[in-house]
Amino acid sequence: MSLKLVILGSLMKKNRYPYEIKQLINESYLKNYIKVQDGTLYYAIDKCYKEKLIEVVEVRHENKRPSKTIYRITDQGRIRFQQELYDQLKESFVFRNPIFPALIYTEFGNTGEIAVILEDRLKHIEEHLRDLKNNRKVADANPGLFYILKNVIIHYQAECVWLRNIIQDAKDHKLGETKSLSELFKDI
């Protein structure tokens, strides 16, 4: 994900200072998809400023605290935002799951231990789904977030079904059995 898109997009709504942009990332579920260190964010903001995509609106000095530089998006920044938005939407999707490499070799593992590990993974995903369900106000804050969360929920639900199948195969000692791919595509 483009950090520039996030910076410019957050400034489309209102003028902000860098820490506020970081908080917006953390509160909007983007933190799960974009890792932003403070130094990286400030560097990207500085780069946007040098490219005249954003400009300083105000510098606030409060007591003995560090000053707050508030930025706004420029007309050039609005044009660049549109480019970044469309480029991001065109980016191809590659589905990755961190357990894929391990699954290739499960036939050589202890099936009981594999089942326990995958049951724990399943439990964490189910807990995360419950947390999402109980924290509905997050999606109300941003219309686009609705679509992100809908995608996440659909994928987590599918992941739960998938994990239950693997767990059952592990318990039945079937992880090393060859399976037909034609079975996977029969309904497609």
Task: Give pLDDT, residue 1.
Answer: 58
CATH code: domain 3-90 is 1.10.10.10
Whether the per-residue pLDDT at 139 is higher than 60: the answer is no
* % the chain with pLDDT above 90: 51
Whether the per-residue pLDDT at 183 is higher than 80: the answer is no
Looking at residue 42, its amino acid is Y
Diameter of the chain measured on Cα atoms: 69
Task: Give pLDDT, residue 8.
Answer: 95
Question: Which residues make beta-bridge pairs with 16?
Answer: 71
Whether the per-residue pLDDT at 165 is higher than 70: the answer is yes
DSSP conformation class of 16: B
Going through the chain in order, the beta strands assigned E by DSSP cover 54-60, 68-73
User: Domains of the chain: which residue ranges?
Assistant: 3-90, 100-183
Task: Give pLDDT, residue 140.
Answer: 61
Query: d(Cα 173, Cα 108) in Å, to the nearest integer?
Result: 11
Q: What is the rounded average pLDDT for all residues in the chain?
A: 87
Q: Do you know the residue count of the chain?
A: 188
Query: d(Cα 162, Cα 156) in Å, to the nearest integer?
Result: 10
* 23-55 pLDDT per residue, tens: 888 776 666 666 777 788 889 999 999 999 999
pTM over the 0.85 mark: no
Task: Give pLDDT, residue 181.
Answer: 81
* 75-107 pLDDT per residue, tens: 999 999 999 999 999 988 888 888 999 999 998
Q: Are 33 and 1 in contact (CB under 8 A)?
A: yes
